[in-house]
Structure 1
Amino acid sequence: MLKTMMPFVAAAAFAVATSAHAADLYEPPAVTPPTVIEKPVATGGWYLRGDLNYHWSKLRGSEYITYGCCGVVDPGSDDFDTTDLDGAFSLGAGVGYQMSPYLRADFTADYWFDSDFRGTTSGTCGGVPCTSTDESSYSALLLMANAYVDLGTYQGVTPYVGAGLGGAYVSWDDLTNAIDGGGSTVHRGASNWRFAWSVMAGASYCLTENLQLDAGYRFTQIEGGRMFDYANGVGPGFDHGFNVHEARAGLRYSFGNGNVNCAVPQVVAYEPPAYEYEPVYK
């Protein structure tokens, strides 16, 4: 009987030993997938801008009314022989909205500081030919609604073109008309609103995700209007408007997730290294 059961006892003992040895095998911990945080990508949003500019103005023409004998008016028969306007600085600010990586719009207000004016006229003084020198200056507040097309971003640089429509409040200072070898007359300067349009081109550079440096060129045309009032038998005077060339530089700050053209790719917060585990026997 004992000899009969020995094989079964040996088999049971072997099974228990094998099970105990298998329990000593090392089981690697479960590997969890990496944690990835995706930063929201800007798709559009509001921005503020500020600009420091320098502009050069050129009169498109001018004329003034003179009064002849016996109350006869001869309008528009005289104009300045020469005109010259100095360049001047200007400051601008605006608010805009980036609708897509390629389209944006803004509303801007620019104040153009005084541009000095010098002109000469010729005529007759008491039946004798004479010439005179005229001096004044003009300033303007320019309000524009603008639209831009961004032409793609290359190494953080985004070239663009744009156009704008709006109005300019032009203010002329008093004009002093000094006759050579004689006296002088002061004409009160005029101020008025005028239609204006502009075209522009430039490029922006991503300083950060929210801040861009913007530099460019703008051409603005302002319609004509009254320049000065009547005094001493002459006036009023009118300018035919301005052609203005402007070099612009400033900053644009985008709110929220930043400017879509300065967006940063997704950020991986943590990704554990890959290990290949092999069973370790103790």
Structure 2
Amino acid sequence: MGQTRSIIIGLALLLGQIGGAAAADLGLPPPPPPPPCVGCDSPWYLKGFVGAANPHVDDISSELFQTNDFQVFHNDIKSTPLFGVGIGYQLNKWFRFDVTGEYRGDASFFAQDRYPGSDGFNRVDLDVPGAFNPGTNEYTADIQSWVGLFNGYIDLGTWHCITPYVGGGVGFASISVNGLKDVNVPNNSVFYAANNTQTNFAWGVYGGLAYDVTPSLTLDLSYRYTDLGDASSGRVTAFDNSSSYKSLNINNITSNDVMLGVRWKFGCCGAQPAPMPVAFK
């Protein structure tokens, strides 16, 4: 049996050589070689992501707050979707970097304050010049922002195609306050603000998990704490033009963001299939 197998293998090798020579005599091209790469030979990647932004505001203020004892008892920016893209570079198996840009959709802003009124002597006496009634303000606006960050990540090792990582980024946030309205019901007054956009230094810290679906495709689930800085409206004017103030300031906007992304690596090809085994009887 062993002698028969040796004869068959020898004949197969001989026929392969004869076939190759015959093909060359006929002017036929040789069969193409297998693709040279296995895995990815480029460190560059593209990424896209979507997510939910959950912002928080520390406080609000205006120049009017210097004239009376204002008490802010509510302020909030509602959650909104975010969408982003980026391009990155995998330095080695541990470190990578990318630049991202994202749009954070219109988010509703609400705030309320109240003040006791004043005549300059902690008494409400409207016969005194400059005195004003107590009241309460209800503010509403739309908040819109663009964020650009340069990010660095540390990949903490890969197990069963899953790679946990941590990271951080610095960049800018451009925040627009649009359509601000200030309603003071006790004093029958409504103020409207001009739209305004403010650009700030921004930063964030990341934690996430990446899953390698193929050598070229990675799914990415991450959390980011983002500090966007401050925002402010334009000048705020009464509906009857009787008075105005400089702006409403929305101080220290931060956000807890949850994102799902996809990374696509350049220059990737899959592993080559193994040749079918030859069975001998």
SS of equivalent to 1:155: coil
Q: Please give the root-mean-square deviation of Cα atoms over the aligned residues, in Å.
A: 3.0
Structure 2 unaligned residues grouped into runs of 5+: 1-6, 14-32, 119-130, 238-242
Equivalent AA in structure 2 for residue 108 of structure 1: T
Task: Check if 1:204 corresponds to 2:210.
Answer: yes
> Which structure has the greater CA radius of gyration?
1
**1:211–1:253 contact (8 Å) kept in structure 2:** yes
Tell me: CA distance 1:132–1:226, structure 2 relative to 1, closer, same or farther (3 Å). closer
Task: Within 5 Å, give how 1:77-92 maps onto structure 2.
Answer: 80-92=72-84
CA contact (8 A) 1:178 1:184 kept: yes
Q: Which runs of 5+ in 1 are unaligned?
A: 1-25, 68-73, 276-282
The SS at the match of 1:175 is strand
CA distances 1:32-69 after superposition (whole Å, capped 9, x unpaired): 6xx998743435521111111101111122210129xx
Aligned residues: 237
The answer to whether the 8 A contact 2:192-2:236 is kept is no
Q: Indicate the larger mover: 91-100 or 235-244.
A: 235-244
Q: CA deviation at 1:155?
A: 0.7
Q: How does 1:58-73 map to 2 (within 5 A)?
A: 58-66=56-64
| SS of match in other structure, 1:174 | strand
1:93 to 1:76, Cα distance in 2 relative to 1, 3 A: farther
* In structure 2, C-alpha distance between the alignment counterparts of 1:185 and 1:230, rounded to whole Å: 6
Q: Provide Cα deviations, 1:191-230, integer angstroms capped at 9, x if missing partner.
A: 0110000000111111222111111101100222433324
Check 1:187–1:115 CA distance in 2 against 1; reply closer, same or farther (3 A cut): same
Give the deviation of 1:233 after TM superposition: 3.2
Question: Equivalents in 2 of 1:160, 1:249: separation in Å?
Answer: 14
CA contact (8 A) 1:187 1:229 kept: yes
Identical columns (%): 22
- Does the Cα contact within 8 Å between 1:36 and 1:271 map onto a contact in 2? no
* CA distance, structure 2, for counterparts of residue 43 and residue 100 of structure 1: 12
Residue matched to 1:172:
177
SS at match of 1:29: helix
Please tell me whether residue 248 in structure 1 is matched to residue 259 in structure 2. Answer: yes
The alpha carbon displacement at 1:150 in A equals 0.9
Contact in 2 for aligned 1:64/1:76 (Cα 8 Å): no
TM-score by length of 2: 0.74
Residue in 2 aligned with 1:21? Answer: none
Is structure 2 residue 144 aligned with structure 1 residue 144? no
- Stretch deviating more after TM superposition (163-172 or 118-127): 118-127
Q: Write out aligned runs for 1:105-254 (5 A).
A: 105-123=97-115, 124=117, 127-181=132-186, 182-231=188-237, 232-254=243-265
Task: Give the Cα–Cα distance (whole angstroms) in 1 for the partners of residues 248 and 35 of structure 2.
Answer: 68
